[in-house]
Each structure stands twice: as C-alpha cells, then as structure tokens.
Amino acid sequence: MNQLAVPSRKQEGWKYQRFASLQDRTWQTPDASGASAWQCPETWAKVHRIVLVDGIFSPAHSHLPTAGCTFESQTGQPTFETKTGFHGFFPETPFLSYRLHITQTLTEPLYVIHGFSGRSGLCIQPHIEVQTDAKTESTLCELLLESQDPGTFWNSSLQFQLAEKSHCQYFHIQAPAAGALVHQIQIQQASQSQWQGHSLVTGAAQHRTQLEVKLLGSHATASTVGIFLGEWKRQVDWGSSMVHATKDTGSRQLVKGIAADHAHCAYRGMVHVHPHASRADGKMHNHNLVLDPTAQVQTLPSFQIEHDQVVCNHGATVGQLREDELFYLETRAIPRVQAEHLLSRAFLEAGLAGFQAMPPLASLATACLEAFFAHRWKKGN
C-alpha cells in the first residue's frame, strides 16, 4: 500500500475513506489520442483556457492569453509535504506535470478545463504548478464538468506558489463523478499575498478534495468558501487546512455541505498555528444539512495552536431543515421537494455568493444544484 502511495487507515488521522480497492486494479495509461474524442462546450469556447483531456494538455482545444502567462510541460515527480491523504502518485502510471507561470496581472479569468475521452480504466494523474510573480493579480477557474467512466481514477493536484503581494482567486466546480476522484490543492504564500478560493464539489464513488494552505510570509491571507453536495451513494471527503507559519497571517474557512439519499460526507478542517506565528487570525466554520435519515455527515474541525497570542475560533453544525419552515412553504402550495430545494439553496447562499461575480460559473453552480435536486424532485412526484 505504501509503495502505491495510498494512505492506509492507520496512517490517516481521519479514517473516513477507503481507497484500498484502487490498488487491486490494473490501470490504463491515457494518451494524446483522447483529445480527438472531446469537444469544448460552447460556454467555454471563447474564454482563455487550458484544456486537459484525460489529463493531457490539448493545445488544439486551449486558448491561452497572448501575454501575462506561460504554460509548459515539465518533468520530475511532484513532491508533497502533506501527512494526510494521498502523498504521491501511483508510480506505475505516468504523471503528467505542467507549469503555469503568471508573470503579469491577468485581466481575464483563465480556465483550466478537464475533459474526458470516455475511455474506461484510465488512471489520470495531472499535476499543475501555478506560480504567480510578485504584485500580480489573477483568477483561475478549474472545471471538472464531465462524469468520467466509472472505471476511471482521477488523481490530480494543483500547487500554487504565490509571490509577495500577489493576489489569486481560485474557482473550482466539480460535477458528480462516477469513478474515483482525488484532488489536492496546495498553496504556499509569501508575504502580503492573498488567495481566495471558491469551491463546489459534488463527490464521487470514492472521493477526496484536500486543500492545504501554508501562510509562509507575514500579512499573507487565505480564505476558502466551499460547498459540497452528496447524494445517491456518493462520497464526499473534504479536507482543508490552514497553516499559519509566521506572524500576522489570516485564514478563513467556510464550508457548507448537504447530504441526501445514501451519501457519506466528511469534513476535516484544521488550523495550525506555528510557534512563531504571533497574531495569527484563523476562523473555521462548517455547517451541514442532512436531508435523509440514510445520509451521513461527519465533521471534524481541529486546531493545533502553538502560540498564545492568536485569535482563532470555529463552529460546526450538522442538522436538518426546520419543519416549521417546510410547513410554511407547503401551506403556500410549494411541494415538499421544492420547499427543500428553496431552503437548501438559502442555506448555501453564502457559498454560492462567491460565484455571482462570475456569471458563467454562477450558472454552472446553479445547474449543479438543480441536478442535485432533480433526482429528489423525480422521486417526490
């Protein structure tokens, strides 16, 4: 198991997911021919975009800005310092490594779109390093919109290196995946840099989204506002940790989750304040709704604080929709499933608000929510 870099139950602090079955599989290696089987959806045809089909960069589908950034393949095994989750790639299947270097402020958002050829049994392992130069501003939107084949393992990572005073916004939307999906997002921030993340994930048959932020320079700040939606028998495993490694750093985590049907969802949040990180300011909130008695949500916020002069707080809740609110809506002729939809959407409002500044993403987030409730609507009628 260790050889395959799959964490064992013993290694992980949080023993929620079981990826052991992945080691018994024989994986196919993706190749560039997959690109011919993929078509760019019209919504994204005019945006600046980097398209990876089966994890392989497709120049034909991509449209990079003429200035402000470079994108290239690179060699060498990526390294991860994390102690939780996957800490490497399946070694027998090639990883696909790229580097995006943002040298100037990007006036338009840059999209990273993951497409799939539909080939079965692939182990897709793209790795993208994003480096921003000092004082640049950029918006990166990562989209995983297609439900790949159930036999696919998508094991991806994104590593940000934010230089001093750079500001990066990151939007991430993941449509439901039928296979196994592991997505690591790691951010290292120099002084006075800002990173703002907005995520909407909808889980997979086996799933993990792991976000790790290291605030290495003073006055660096990071925030993540996330939504997860779990339904059917899907799993959602959300981990986010903010490491305050130096003084005067700030972090915010707000993650809202909804579990329905037989979904299993977990939130693992961490704020770690190092011994020299005086005046660290870390806030972590996770709130969850459970719509069916067969669904599960577990929440585990935790702190590791090694300095006295800090301001840290957290809140975590798991609850149901209020019956009095549901009854009120029902007395206004609104069917129960639609009432659930309205109230759930209201519950997620703080998470959805971040997408409103990006109309195509706001529509996409709404579509994900509609799809989530479409099944319940059908069942309810």
Least distance CB 14 / other proteins (angstroms):
30
- Asked if residue 341 lies in contact with residue 377, where contact means CB atoms within 8 angstroms, the answer is yes
Of 32 and 353, which CB lies nearer to other proteins in the complex structure?
353
* Binding pattern for the stretch 290-329 against other proteins, x by CB under 8 A and - elsewhere: ---------------------------------xxx-xxx
**Strand-strand pairing, 48-53 and 56-57:** antiparallel
- Asked if residue 285 lies in contact with residue 318, where contact means CB atoms within 8 angstroms, the answer is no
Distance, CA of 105 to CA of 90 (rounded, Å): 35
Q: What are phi and psi of 312, to 5 degrees?
A: -135, 140
Question: Which of 24, 39, 293, 333 touches other proteins by CB under 8 A?
Answer: 333
- Asked if residue 285 lies in contact with residue 315, where contact means CB atoms within 8 angstroms, the answer is yes
- The DSSP letter of residue 30 is P
Least distance CB 173 / other proteins (angstroms):
21
# residues near other proteins by CB under 8 A: 21
- Asked if residue 265 lies in contact with residue 290, where contact means CB atoms within 8 angstroms, the answer is no
Query: Binding to other proteins by residue 332, rule CB under 8 A?
Result: yes
* Binding pattern for the stretch 340-379 against other proteins, x by CB under 8 A and - elsewhere: --xx-xxx-x------------------------------
- Asked if residue 238 lies in contact with residue 226, where contact means CB atoms within 8 angstroms, the answer is yes
Least distance CB 226 / other proteins (angstroms):
17
Q: Which DSSP string do the residues of 141-165 spell out, in sequence order?
A: EEEE-S---TT-EEEEEEEEEEPTT
Of 24 and 324, which CB lies nearer to other proteins in the complex structure?
324
Question: Any idea which residue has 């149901």 for tokens?
Answer: 320
Query: Binding to other proteins by residue 336, rule CB under 8 A?
Result: yes
- Asked if residue 50 lies in contact with residue 64, where contact means CB atoms within 8 angstroms, the answer is yes
Of 113 and 329, which CB lies nearer to other proteins in the complex structure?
329
Q: How far is CA 127 from the centre of its chain?
A: 14
- Residues in the chain, overall count: 381
Query: Binding to other proteins by residue 75, rule CB under 8 A?
Result: no
Question: Which of 187, 339, 365, 369 touches other proteins by CB under 8 A?
Answer: 339
Please count the CA atoms within 13 angstroms of the CA of 167 that sit on its side-chain side: 6
Distance, CA of 68 to CA of 130 (rounded, Å): 13
Least distance CB 345 / other proteins (angstroms):
7
Of 123 and 290, which CB lies nearer to other proteins in the complex structure?
290
Which window, 146-154, 167-175, 245-253, 332-340, contacts other proteins (CB under 8 A)?
332-340
Of 195 and 347, which CB lies nearer to other proteins in the complex structure?
347
**Inter-CA distances, 29 with 208, 209, 259, 292, 318, Å:** 22, 23, 34, 39, 41
Residue 22 structure tokens: 């992945």
Query: Binding to other proteins by residue 181, rule CB under 8 A?
Result: no
Query: Binding to other proteins by residue 41, rule CB under 8 A?
Result: no
Of 173 and 337, which CB lies nearer to other proteins in the complex structure?
337
Question: Which of 147, 278, 302, 338 touches other proteins by CB under 8 A?
Answer: 338
Least distance CB 339 / other proteins (angstroms):
8
Going by C-alpha positions, the residue among 259, 208, 251 that lies closest to residue 231 is 259
Question: Which of 335, 357, 367, 374 touches other proteins by CB under 8 A?
Answer: 335
Query: Binding to other proteins by residue 331, rule CB under 8 A?
Result: yes
Of 277 and 321, which CB lies nearer to other proteins in the complex structure?
321
Distance, CA of 352 to CA of 141 (rounded, Å): 15
Of 49 and 285, which CB lies nearer to other proteins in the complex structure?
285
Query: Binding to other proteins by residue 334, rule CB under 8 A?
Result: yes
Going by C-alpha positions, the residue among 64, 164, 163 that lies closest to residue 113 is 64
Least distance CB 203 / other proteins (angstroms):
23
Of 314 and 336, which CB lies nearer to other proteins in the complex structure?
336
Binders of other proteins in range 105-144 (CB under 8 A)? none
What residue ranges bind other proteins (CB under 8 A)?
Answer: 323-325, 327-336, 338-339, 342-343, 345-347, 349
